[in-house]
């Protein structure tokens, strides 16, 4: 059995250390108040059993809490008081400089909590360590100086989660939709170098990847680009190739018809598209940003985003090549093709590609093959999204999310506040907009705190919502007064705006240009505790779940009306936080069956991963919650290997088009470097800890295997903490 030290490092459980601590406290009291050796032995044994029952590695703090409780149970009050006093004094010493041990453990690569915090960061790499070190300092400053004490306390107790505290000290926002069209069509500046509009498709792709890297280093969340912004440059290349072909053959003394010239030029256009797409895929994967990971980038593939005709045909060709290259995968250090985490792909299902007789059905079939092999693309239904996202024009809109699942609110801006050079008055504005940040509400804690008393539940809900509001306003106020100079690529050179040097970004924080997100987690467990049934129960569970969601939406609407800031309800994609919340709940309320007995809580509104439900029923059920989660929502179905059953994948995709706005299929994509096994890598238990194991050669060395799993909307490839690993292990198939 392992335990987690305060530094974050993992060590073997040693009961002798508990014995030594109790003996020390015991020796400080008079004889008649002392514990006997048998009592001390009983306490240590009870603590050891309690740790084993946790089914995860307990922290030192949790073990000390258990010791205190056991001392009280033995009615050794003076011993307990001395034990607590000593513990408190040591805590004060540690608090005087709270970051040293964490930073040292990071440098030695033995901080288990941090090593598994982000499933797309390798904590042994210097740049990642540097980012984590800076993050520890930032979190310390944030907790001690920048946030109110009650918000910090609520965060540490797991009542709420103040996301990305490691970046809060800086004036940085969360995620965005890049206005790549403006940057490419009207020029930009990257690293103080003027970049003119590109003269070819491959150059446009190269500029895009350079911009992506710069943007990733200037914010802490995901970014999205659209292939439609690259499509016009295919025609630029086409015209250039036509001239080249004509001149080459003329120089060679060969006369060609216009038809033949075009035919040869098209061959070169095809090669150009191949080069450009390959550049995006490989540069995004190999780029290392200042926070030590590949840019968290989403690529949007939406045919109807460009006019019908040649440009749409060119966009279709780019999408086709993007899918072909993703199906192929990328080579790892052993030369084996594996599934990369990024770029994430989103494919829009629309009227022209959703049936066998539609014009672009061949692309949809290719997308299905790609999903079966590489877990992407994810799917947005143009039909359902236009029903849910109606903006100032009175028309439904279809647009991409930002990274994992965060969606902008429908546009309500009234002027070109960002001074974008591609702004069209009266048309919905989406690219160039961003999210200010997230604070997540732990719904399970509200339920457990209420003790099944419905009136108390709503009272606590109001208190916690007020807490979230103040925490979100801290995020907003941190951005107020930020000069555009802090990130020129974002605020001055077109990615988000074209403000002047020294100009503040304040006007972009109001009036609907940007959003700010109230996240929520654990709707499933919340309903289970309060009603005794799953939120899939149509009689009791679902109505209560919808009531909770409506309450959260009403709060966002109220705050928006009061502040002119677009608060929006966001289905938080818990990664490491799912484990944190679960541990906090167990500490506060013990292990409640079906509620707090797992080392994870359920993402957003999702059906619990262990609940038996078929793919179509799951998507239909969750669609009603996507409508109530406008700031971000994604649903998934867990499927087996579907590479030999593409027709079934297509059936699910067609169901998504008719029934739900945004969904994905989860499959597995693994490889063992020791024996070459390319099936599913298993999760097994070792000394009370979940580890990954090749079922063929029993390899358990994570450095000798490639595992890709859907984490919480995107693909993770650097493994996960114990809570998320348990959640992955317990997922049932829906198809």
The angle at the Cα of 177, spanning 131 to 197, to the nearest 5 degrees, equals: 100
- The two most distant CA atoms of the chain are separated, in Å, by 113
Radius of gyration of the chain (CA): 27
99: burial class by Cβ within 10 Å (0-12, 13-18, 19+)?
middle
- Write out the two tokens for 320: 């086709």
Distance CA 479, CA 494 (A): 19
Identify the bridge partners of residue 686 per DSSP, sorted by sequence position. Answer: 689
Query: Which residue is it, tokens 């700031």?
Result: 631
In the numeric block, which tokens belong to residue 325?
């290259």
- 556 carries an active-site annotation: no
CA 520 to each of CA 41, 445, 564, 667, 674: distance values in angstroms, whole numbers, following the listed order:
43, 11, 22, 26, 41
Is 713 a residue of the active site?
Answer: yes
Phi-psi region of 691 (alpha: psi -120 to 50; beta: other; left: phi over 0): beta
Beta bridge pairs of residue 662:
380
Catalytic residue among 57, 174, 629, 721: 174
Query: Quick one: tokens of 635?
Result: 């649903």
To 5 degrees, how large is the angle CA 168–CA 435–CA 635? 110
User: For the residues of 635-688, what is the DSSP string, one character each?
Assistant: EEEE----TT-HHHHHHHHHHHHHH-SEEEEE--EEEETTT---SPPEEEEETT
Length of the chain: 735
* Known active-site residue 402: yes
Q: Is 406 a catalytic residue?
A: yes
Residue 192 has a CB neighbour count (10 Å cut-off) of 7
Catalytic residue among 428, 713, 716, 723: 713
Choice among 66, 402, 474, 549 that is catalytic: 402
Burial label for 17, CB within 10 Å (0-12, 13-18, 19+), is middle
Catalytic residue among 272, 575, 622, 693: 575
> Is 600 considered catalytic here?
no
Instruction: Locate 129 and state its tokens.
Output: 């360590």
Write down the residue that tokens 């348990």 correspond to.
726
**For residue 64, what is the enclosing H or E element?**
helix 60-73
* Active-site hit among 167, 220, 469, 570: 570
E strand segments, 280-425: 297-301, 330-331, 337-338, 344-349, 378-381
The token pair at 209 is 């990847």
Cα–Cα dist 1/429, whole Å = 55
Cβ atoms 699, 95 nearer than 8 A: no
- Angle made by CA atoms 191, 196, 198, in degrees to the nearest 5: 115
Identify the active-site residue in 111, 202, 226, 406. Answer: 406
Catalytic annotation on 175?
yes
Comparing CA positions, the residue from 193, 221, 218 lying closest to residue 207 is: 193
Task: Based on the residue annotation, tell me whether 262 is a catalytic residue of this protein.
Answer: no
Active-site annotation holder among 175, 549, 673, 694: 175
DSSP 124: T
Q: Which of 435, 534, 576, 599 is catalytic?
A: 435
Q: Residue 524 in contact with residue 607, Cβ under 8 Å?
A: yes
CB 180 within 8 A of CB 227: no
Helix (H), strand (E) at residue 72: helix 60-73
**Catalytic residue list:** 174-175, 402, 404, 406, 435, 570, 575, 713
């Amino acid at each position: 059995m392992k335990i987690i030290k305060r530094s974050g490092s993992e060590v073997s459980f040693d009961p002798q250390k508990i014995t030594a601590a109790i003996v020390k406290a015991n020796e400080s009291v008079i004889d008649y108040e002392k514990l006997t050796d048998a009592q001390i032995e009983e306490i240590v044994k009870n603590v050891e059993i309690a740790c084993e029952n946790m089914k995860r590695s307990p922290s030192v703090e949790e073990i000390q809490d258990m010791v205190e409780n056991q001392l009280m149970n033995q009615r050794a009050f003076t011993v307990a008081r001395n034990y607590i006093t000593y513990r408190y004094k040591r805590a004060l010493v540690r608090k005087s400089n709270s970051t040293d041990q964490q930073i040292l453990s990071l440098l030695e690569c033995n901080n288990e909590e941090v090593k598994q915090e982000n499933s797309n960061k390798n904590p042994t790499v210097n740049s990642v360590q540097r980012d984590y070190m800076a993050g520890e300092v930032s979190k310390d400053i944030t907790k001690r100086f920048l946030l109110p004490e009650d918000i910090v306390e609520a965060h540490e107790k797991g009542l709420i989660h103040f996301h990305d505290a490691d970046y809060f000290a800086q004036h940085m926002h969360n995620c965005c939709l890049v206005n790549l069209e403006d940057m490419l069509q009207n020029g930009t500046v990257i690293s103080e170098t003027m970049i003119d509009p590109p003269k070819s498709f491959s150059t446009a792709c190269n500029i895009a990847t350079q911009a992506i890297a710069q943007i990733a280093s200037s914010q802490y969340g995901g970014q999205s680009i659209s292939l439609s912004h690259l499509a016009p440059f295919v025609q630029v290349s086409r015209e250039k190739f036509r001239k080249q072909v004509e001149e080459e053959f003329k120089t060679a003394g060969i006369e060609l018809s216009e038809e033949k010239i075009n035919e040869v030029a098209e061959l070169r256009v095809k090669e150009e598209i191949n080069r450009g797409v390959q550049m995006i895929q490989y540069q995004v994967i190999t780029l290392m940003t200042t926070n030590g990971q590949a840019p968290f980038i989403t690529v949007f593939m939406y045919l109807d985003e460009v006019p019908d005709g040649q440009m749409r045909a060119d966009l279709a060709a780019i999408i086709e090549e993007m899918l072909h290259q993703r199906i192929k995968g990328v080579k790892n250090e052993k030369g084996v093709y594996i599934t990369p985490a990024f770029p994430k792909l989103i494919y829009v299902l629309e009227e022209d590609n959703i049936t066998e007789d539609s014009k672009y059905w061949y692309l949809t079939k290719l997308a299905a093959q790609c999903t079966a092999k590489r877990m992407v693309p994810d799917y947005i239904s143009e039909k359902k999204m236009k029903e849910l996202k109606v903006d100032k024009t009175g028309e439904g809109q279809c647009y991409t999310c930002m990274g994992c699942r965060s969606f902008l609110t429908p546009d309500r801006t009234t002027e070109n506040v960002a001074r974008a050079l591609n702004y069209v008055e009266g048309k919905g504005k989406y690219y160039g907009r961003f999210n200010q940040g997230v604070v997540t509400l732990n719904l399970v804690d509200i339920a457990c705190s209420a003790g099944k008393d419905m009136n108390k539940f709503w009272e606590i809900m109001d208190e916690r919502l007020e807490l979230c509001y103040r925490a979100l306003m801290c995020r907003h106020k941190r951005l107020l007064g930020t000069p555009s100079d802090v990130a020129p690529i974002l605020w001055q050179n077109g990615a988000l705006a074209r403000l002047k040097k020294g100009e503040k970004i304040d006007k972009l924080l109001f009036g609907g240009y940007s959003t700010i997100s109230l996240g929520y987690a654990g709707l499933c467990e919340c309903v289970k505790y309060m009603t005794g049934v799953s939120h899939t129960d149509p009689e009791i569970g679902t109505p209560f779940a919808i009531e909770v969601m409506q309450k959260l939406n009403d709060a966002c609407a109220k705050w928006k009306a009061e502040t002119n800031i677009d608060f929006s309800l966001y289905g938080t994609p818990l990664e490491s936080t799912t484990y944190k919340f679960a541990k906090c709940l167990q500490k506060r309320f013990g292990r409640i069956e079906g509620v707090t007995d797992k080392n994870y809580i359920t993402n957003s509104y999702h059906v619990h991963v262990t609940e038996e439900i078929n793919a179509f029923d799951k998507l239909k059920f969750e669609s009603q919650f996507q409508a109530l989660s406008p700031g971000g929502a994604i649903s998934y179905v867990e499927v087996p290997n579907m590479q030999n059953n593409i027709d079934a994948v297509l059936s699910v995709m067609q169901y998504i088009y008719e029934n739900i706005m945004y969904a994905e299929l989860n499959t597995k994509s693994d490889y063992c470097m020791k024996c070459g096994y390319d099936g599913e890598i298993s999760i097994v238990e070792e000394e009370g800890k979940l580890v990954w194991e090749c079922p063929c050669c029993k390899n358990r060395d994570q450095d000798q295997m490639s595992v890709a799993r859907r984490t919480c909307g995107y693909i993770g490839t650097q493994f996960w903490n114990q809570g998320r690993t348990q959640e992955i292990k317990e997922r049932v198939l829906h198809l």
